[in-house]
């Protein structure tokens, strides 16, 4: 269960009087403190053993979940495998939470072969979810546009944007760190969808202009640790509770994804982006990442990296330093977060959606 997204959502919904039953598949047995916290909030949590991976494990989890969803008045199916369970269970009403175009991401990550039987099956699940879900939630307007292109205007009409949400009471603006060194932060998980060479190249370009440090904070040892260290960066880990202070200790965040698989990122909005903006810190992202092209222009809160050549990295470094030096940047970043990434607003929109489809 995601500590940065699922947990805040369900706790906030329970506090507003909703009866919430949560089913999740867990790789490890959850600790008693989390179980007690959810129980105290009134959330009926059922953590289930994840068991096997791969296609067989995925099919098994889909089938295992079906009895939990049957005859329920409203089901919120988070991503495609949960949607497959809902398609089989046929609850009274259900929401497909389109976190990304999951099949495109699996292909980009190299865990799914294009043209394979597994891809064809997952494409059918996506199409059926788009056509049969009572309501659809997407993280970006770009995702809804693509949903309509792939599956027809009716699917797009039933979809609404509820983007990655951040608790604005936890992530708050603060003055930039003192000193001349520009601190760049890489936070969270970085899988093969991210363009780490481009982010390290940008760090090098910024470092050619100002003293610069780059720090990678991730939940566990990762594939990029050695390369970050080789470039003079530092590696660490931070708990969920420690992340606001870690973000405040930086000048800017980096979240650059690969651009060779545009379908894999146009529906995505990494949580780290909202956390940086809520803290008053600008971000560097790739062109085509969700709605960030538009938000960067509207709020002047981000740098769009569309060219990772030496000249392109130099331009991005200059643009980032201009944002860091602008005393109004923090306020613009915060406004972007309040307008688009607020947890309270996201929960309001979810409850409104539940009421709408529950009454239809």
Question: For residue 213, which of 256, 180, 184 has the smallest C-alpha distance?
Answer: 184
What pLDDT is recorded for position 52? Answer: 87
- What does the alpha-carbon distance between residue 201 and residue 243 come to, in Å, rounded to a whole number? 25
Buried residues in 122-144 as b, exposed as e (16+ CB within 10 A): beebbebbbeebbbbbbbbbbbb
**Rg (alpha carbons) of the chain, rounded to whole number:** 21
Q: How far is CA 224 from the centre of its chain?
A: 20
Q: How far apart are CA 4 and CA 254, in angstroms?
A: 18
| 50 Cβ contact partners less than 8 Å away, ≥ 6 residues apart | 25, 26, 27, 57, 61
- For helices 80-89 and 117-132, what crossing angle results, to 10°? 60
Q: pTM for the full model?
A: 0.93
| Count of CA atoms in the C-beta half-sphere (13 A) of 352 | 11
Structural contact between residues 46 and 25, judged by C-beta atoms closer than 8 angstroms: no
Residue 80: predicted pLDDT: 96
pLDDT along the chain (360 residues), means of 10: 80 94 92 91 95 91 97 95 98 95 94 94 97 97 96 96 94 94 94 94 97 93 89 91 95 95 91 97 97 97 96 98 97 98 95 86
* Domains and their CATH numbers in the chain: 51-165+342-358 (3.40.50.2000), 182-340 (3.40.50.2000)
Distances (CA, A) of 81 to 39, 254, 335: 26, 30, 35
Q: What is the pLDDT of residue 1?
A: 62
CB 251 within 8 A of CB 176: yes
At residue 220, the pLDDT reads 84
CA nearest to 58, candidates 121, 134, 147, 116: 121
Contact 83, 77 (CB under 8 A): yes
What pLDDT score does 5 carry? 78
Q: Report whether 21 contacts 46 (CB < 8 A).
A: yes
Q: Measured on CA atoms in the order 332, 253, 194, 187, is the torsion positive or negative? A: negative
**Cα separation of 200 and 227, whole Å?**
9
Give the burial class of 202: count Cβ atoms within 10 A of its Cβ; 0-12 exposed, 13-18 middle, 19 or more buried.
buried
């Amino acid at each position: 269960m995601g500590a940065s997204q699922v947990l805040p959502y369900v706790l906030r919904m329970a506090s507003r009087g909703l009866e919430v039953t949560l089913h999740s598949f867990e790789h490890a047995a959850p600790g008693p403190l989390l179980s007690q916290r959810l129980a105290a909030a009134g959330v009926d949590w059922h953590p289930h053993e994840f068991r096997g991976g791969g296609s067989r494990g995925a099919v098994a989890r889909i089938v295992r979940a079906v009895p939990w969803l049957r005859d329920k008045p409203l089901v919120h199916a988070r991503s495609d495998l949960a949607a497959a369970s809902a398609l089989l269970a046929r609850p009274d009403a259900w929401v497909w939470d389109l976190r990304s175009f999951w099949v495109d991401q699996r292909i980009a990550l190299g865990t799914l072969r294009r043209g394979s039987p597994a891809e064809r099956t997952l494409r059918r699940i996506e199409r059926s979810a788009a056509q049969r879900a009572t309501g659809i939630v997407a993280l970006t307007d770009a995702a809804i546009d693509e949903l309509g292109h792939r599956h027809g205007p009716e699917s797009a009409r039933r979809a609404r944007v509820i983007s990655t949400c951040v608790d604005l009471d936890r992530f708050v603006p603060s003055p930039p760190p003192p000193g001349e060194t520009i601190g760049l932060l890489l936070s969270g998980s970085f899988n093969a969808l991210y363009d780490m060479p481009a982010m390290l190249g940008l760090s090098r370009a910024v470092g050619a202009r100002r003293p610069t440090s780059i720090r990678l904070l991730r939940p566990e040892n990762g594939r990029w640790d050695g390369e970050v260290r080789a470039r003079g960066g530092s590696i660490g880990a931070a708990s969920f509770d420690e992340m606001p202070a870690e973000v405040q200790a930086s000048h800017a965040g980096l979240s650059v994804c690969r651009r060779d698989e545009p379908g894999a990122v146009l529906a995505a909005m990494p949580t780290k982006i909202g956390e940086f903006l809520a803290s008053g810190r600008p971000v560097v992202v790739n062109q085509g990442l969700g709605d960030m092209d538009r938000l960067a222009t509207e709020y002047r809160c981000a740098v769009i990296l569309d060219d990772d050549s030496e000249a392109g990295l130099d331009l991005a470094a200059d643009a980032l330093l201009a944002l860091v030096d602008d005393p109004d940047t923090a306020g613009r970043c915060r406004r972007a977060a309040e307008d688009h990434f607020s947890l309270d607003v996201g929960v309001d929109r979810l409850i409104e959606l539940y009421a709408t489809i529950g009454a239809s």
